[in-house]
Amino acid sequence: SQQGEEDPQALSIQEGENATMNCSYKTSINNLQWYRQNSGRGLVHLILIRSNEREKHSGRLRVTLDTSKKSSSLLITASRAADTASYFCATFQGGSEKLVFGKGTKLTVNP
Amino acid sequence: GAGVSQSPSNKVTEKGKDVELRCDPISGHTALYWYRQSLGQGLEFLIYFQGNSAPDKSGLPSDRFSAERTGGSVSTLTIQRTQQEDSAVYLCASSLFLAGGSTDTQYFGPGTRLTVL
């Protein structure tokens, strides 16, 4: 079953604008991770936020985590055309080592 | 250092044939994962190896799928009697196994795009 569900499914913005993607999950977690995928190939790990953290920054990325609502958001500030990709959140399922991904948000940044 | 590598990058095969997909994890990573991504879909967990422990095969979709990991390093995913619905990108990932029984960030390879005609 899907552990993480991202929304929106697709997002199209202009270069320079901010992009916000949301993720909801179902069970308790130790951490939540965000990945980026270009052109349907390998995933790149972006950021990991632990369950005892509420916000984390990495460059132009800002991730928040609300464990009471079982949700996370990924904000990309000052977007660039190169940010065009699909973004996935992922969590470990049921204390196992299986990383469960949502179906992703497809972000298009128009120059 | 070198990342996770996979070969071949693309594989086209005929229905009914067997295929082998290879994954070379990052050196020193004891955990290795296989995932499948069908067109427009999220990633589906297939199998997980950790050290010498029995692999977690709970995600394998049928008994046509099998995987092994030799010497705790390279892994091969084998699909026997391929079907058209097996067409997908097969992704491998590796990670460190941390003290306390958890794993670290998973690092993904570029994937193998399998097309079954």
A42 in contact with B, Cβ within 8 Å: yes
Name the residue in chain A with its Cα closest to that of B50.
A97
Cα–Cα distance, A92 to A15 (Å, whole number): 33
Work out the angle at residue A67's Cα, subtended by the Cα atoms of residues B102 and B96, and round it to the nearest 5 degrees: 15
State residue A22's pLDDT score: 94
Q: Is residue A73 exposed (0-12), middle (13-18) or buried (19+ Cβ within 10 Å)?
A: middle
Share the mean pLDDT of chain A: 89
Residue B1 has pLDDT above 70, yes or no: no
Angle CA(A46)–CA(A51)–CA(A53) in degrees, nearest 5? 75
Contact A30 B50 (CB under 8 A): no
Decide if A30 touches B, using CB distance below 8 A. Answer: yes
Residue A95 has pLDDT above 70, yes or no: no
Residue A1's pLDDT band (cuts 50, 70, 90): very low
Q: What is the mean pLDDT of residues B78-104?
A: 86
- Give the C-alpha separation, B21 to A33, whole Å: 26
Lowest mean per-residue pLDDT among A46-55, B7-16, B103-112: B103-112
Q: Do A100 and B105 count as a contact with CB atoms less than 8 A apart?
A: no
pLDDT reported for residue A5: 75
pLDDT per residue as tens digits for the range A51-85: 999 999 999 999 999 999 999 999 999 999 999 99
SS3 B71: helix
Q: What was the pLDDT predicted at A2?
A: 40
Q: What is the DSSP letter of A111?
A: -
Nearest to A41 among B35, B89, B106 (CB): B89
In chain B, % of residues over pLDDT 70 = 92
8 Å CB contact of A42 and B103: no
Q: What is the Cα–Cα distance from A59 to B41, expressed in whole angstroms? A: 28
Confidence category of residue B70, pLDDT binned at 50, 70, 90? confident
Q: Show which of residues 60-89 on chain B sit within 8 Å of chain A, judged by CB atoms.
A: 89
Tokens for B46?
């297939």
Identify which of A42, A90, A103 has the shortest CB distance to residue B110.
A42
